[in-house]
């Protein structure tokens, strides 16, 4: 039996706040499920929003919250891009690798069939760009085929450390579609010390050589640096160096080091602080590429149908933003 005072309390308390404000209303005595259903029914009828039922209280927003997805810049809407982790194993063992890749990592490969199906379903789901990342994708013998099934559907970016463009791997690179593919090569500094300090001796030189090779082969090359947050504003020398390699300014990408995977420090990225980027690995669908090795950000083990995974990521993002907005209103800083 629902306490009838509940609806009266809802009307009174919601009436005391401005539009989009939230109130916490005690549910009162009775069957918790029935009480929660009464609040939900009242909200639906009165044009207000049940944010959540927590313990013996319901949090209700006056009016309905704006759609968090509609408030995002269009290219940030989850599902605009699809990230795929092709393997996980790597020829390097960078000390800040967010997915702990190394030569010792077991290969967890998506494989050609799944990548092909993902590319096809991505196009149907309205994805506008595919992004392939490793570990190091050029360790895969069929990397050219993986890239080809992607570029056949959508513009694609391939992340690599750029160190393996020799022999058959260089041949594989040459097979790729230059009109649809961009390469994103990691380089952290204008001189070897910093880059090599994190990624291993000699790696800077080989990465720079890889950038030159890819560029000379006619590929669009993006260079991405991973830097401690405090260094992300001292970049003049780095940009000058990349200019000298012929990398366009818009293709010079700086990322702050994340405290994830093998990294001992870096900015904290949590489910709450990250706008999701749908990321598929052999193990399932993750919230964001920086957390593709962390179960706290696993969305689902079911990769297919891809549309369902994208829908689920969007649903969780919307729900989370609504709760965050409500929480922010509970703790106003005067």
Partner 1 sequence: MSKPLIVGAVAYTPNVVTIWEGIRDYFAGSASEMDFVLFSNYGRQVDSLIDGTIDLAWNTNLAWVRTVAQTDGACRALAMRDTDTVFRTVFVARTGSNLGGLDGLKGRRLALGSKDSAQAAILPVHFLDRNGPGADEVELLRIDSDVGKHGDTGRSELDALRAVLDERADAAAIGINTWEAIGREELMPGAFEAFWESPTYSHCNFTALPRVPEERTGPWLERLLAMDWDNPEHRPILEMEGLRRWVSPKLDGYASLVEAVKEQGISARW
Q: Which of 84, 92, 130, 263 binds ligand SF4 (CB under 6 A)?
A: 92
The reply to whether 328 sits near partner 1 by the rule CB under 8 A is no
* 17 contact, one of partner 1, ligand SF4, none, CB 5-8 Å limit per kind: partner 1
38 binding partner (options ligand SF4, partner 1, none; Cβ < 5 to 8 Å by kind): partner 1
Q: Which residues of 290-299 are buried (b: 16+ CB within 10 A; e: fewer)?
A: bbbbbeebbb
Q: Which is nearer to partner 1, 64 or 107 (CB)?
A: 64
**Which tokens go with 138?**
């050029």
Could you say which of ligand SF4, partner 1, none residue 92 binds, taking C-beta under 5 to 8 angstroms by partner kind?
A: ligand SF4
**Selected range binding partner 1 among 40-48, 112-120, 123-131, 270-278, rule: CB under 8 A:** 40-48
Q: Are residues 184 and 160 in contact, defined by beta-carbon separation less than 8 angstroms? A: yes
94 binds, among partner 1, ligand SF4, none (CB under 5 to 8 A by kind): ligand SF4
Out of 22, 23, 35, 38, name the contact with partner 1 by CB under 8 A: 38
CA-nearest of 228, 229, 223, 259 to 100 is: 259
* Cis bond before residue 305 (omega within 30° of 0): yes
23 binds, among partner 1, ligand SF4, none (CB under 5 to 8 A by kind): none
Q: Is 72 exposed, middle or buried (0-12, 13-18, 19+ CB in 10 A)?
A: middle
Q: Which stretch binds ligand SF4 (CB under 6 A): 30-38, 75-83, 85-93, 272-280?
A: 85-93
With binding defined as CB under 6 A, does residue 291 bind ligand SF4?
A: no
Which one among 59, 90, 118, 223 touches ligand SF4, defined by CB under 6 A? Answer: 90
**Phi-psi domain of 88 (left: phi exceeds 0; alpha: psi -120 through 50; beta: other):** left
Give, as one character, the DSSP assignment of residue 226.
Answer: E
By the rule CB under 6 A, 161 interacts with ligand SF4: yes
Does 30 participate in binding partner 1 (rule CB under 8 A)? no
CA distance 238 to 224: 11
Q: From CA 139, how far away is CA 90, in angstroms rounded?
A: 7
Query: CA-to-CA distance for 85 and 108, rounded, in angstroms?
Result: 9
Residue 46 engages partner 1 in binding (rule: CB under 8 A): yes
Backbone angles phi, psi at 279, to 5 degrees: -130, 125
User: Minimum Å distance from CB 88 to ligand SF4?
Assistant: 8
Between 37 and 253, CB nearer to partner 1: 37
Among candidates 190, 184, 161, which has minimal Cα distance to 101? 161
From the list 10, 34, 7, 32, the residue with the least C-alpha distance to 22 is: 10
Q: Are 259 and 267 in contact (CB under 8 A)?
A: yes
- Pick from 15, 74, 167, 332 the residue near partner 1 by CB under 8 A: 15
18 binds partner 1 (CB under 8 A): yes
Could you list the residues that contact ligand SF4 (CB under 6 A)?
90, 92-94, 97, 101, 134-136, 161, 199
Could you list the residues that contact partner 1 (CB under 8 A)?
1-2, 4-5, 7-8, 11-12, 15-19, 21, 38, 41-42, 45-47, 62-63
């Amino acid at each position: 039996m629902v306490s009838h005072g509940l609806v009266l309390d809802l009307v009174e308390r919601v009436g005391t706040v401005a539009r989009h404000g939230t109130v916490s209303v005690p549910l009162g005595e009775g069957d918790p499920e029935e009480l929660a259903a009464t609040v939900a029914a009242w909200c639906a009828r009165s044009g207000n929003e049940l944010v959540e039922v927590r313990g013996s209280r319901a949090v209700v927003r006056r009016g309905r919250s704006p759609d968090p997805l509609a408030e995002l810049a269009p290219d940030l809407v989850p599902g605009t891009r699809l990230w795929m982790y092709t393997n996980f194993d790597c020829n390097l063992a960078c000390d800040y690798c967010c997915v702990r890749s190394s030569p010792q990592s077991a290969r967890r490969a998506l494989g050609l069939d799944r990548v092909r199906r993902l590319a096809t379903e991505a196009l149907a789901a309205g994805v506008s760009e595919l992004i392939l990342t490793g570990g190091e994708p050029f360790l895969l013998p069929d990397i050219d085929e993986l890239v080809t099934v992607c570029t056949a559907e959508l513009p694609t970016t391939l992340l690599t450390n750029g160190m393996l463009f020799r022999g058959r791997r260089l041949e594989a690179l040459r097979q790729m579609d230059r009109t649809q593919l961009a390469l994103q090569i990691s380089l952290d500094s204008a001189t070897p010390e910093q880059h090599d300090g994190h990624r291993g001796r000699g790696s800077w030189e080989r990465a720079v050589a890889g950038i030159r090779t890819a560029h000379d082969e006619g590929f669009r090359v993006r260079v991405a640096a991973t830097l401690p947050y405090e260094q992300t504003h001292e970049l003049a020398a780095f940009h000058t160096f990349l200019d000298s390699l012929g990398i366009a300014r818009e293709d010079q990408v700086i990322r702050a080091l994340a405290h994830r995977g093998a990294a001992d420090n870096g900015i904290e990225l949590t489910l709450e602080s990250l706008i999701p980027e749908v990321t598929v690995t052999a193990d399932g669908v993750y919230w964001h590429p920086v957390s593709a090795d962390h179960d706290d950000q696993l969305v689902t083990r079911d990769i297919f149908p891809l549309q369902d995974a994208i829908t689920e990521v969007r649903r969780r993002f919307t729900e989370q933003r609504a709760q965050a907005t409500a929480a922010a209103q509970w703790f106003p800083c005067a």
